[in-house]
Amino acid sequence: MDKVSENSPDTQFAGVVLGVIGAAMALMVKSLALIGFSAGGPIAGSIAAAWQASIGNVVAGSVFALLQSIAMTGAGAPILGI
């Protein structure tokens, strides 16, 4: 059985993939912040707050709930496959 080298193409590829996933998650959280999703909930006067006001009670598993979950904790990430 061959030992996988730390510098093997597979190891390097895995590092690149993990880096891209991390960058994508950071970009997603920043993008959500721009429209008003934050760790403390929707920001007053934002697009997210207006959206929440228009739907009333937020249903668990809805798109709004998923986006808020990602903004708060990243907990929605597995649902997106990241």
The domain segmentation of the chain, as residue ranges, is 36-82
In this predicted model, what pLDDT tens digit does every residue of 20-62 receive, in sequence order?
Answer: 877 777 777 788 889 999 989 999 999 999 999 999 899 988 9
Start-to-end CA span in the chain (Å) = 31
Among the listed residues 68, 66, 71, the one whose alpha carbon sits nearest the alpha carbon of residue 81: 66
- Assessment of whether the complete model's pTM goes beyond 0.75: no
11 token code pair: 């190891």
* Contact indicator for 75, 69 with CB cutoff of 8 Å: yes
Report d(CA 26, CA 82) in Å as an integer.
12
Report d(CA 8, CA 28) in Å as an integer.
30
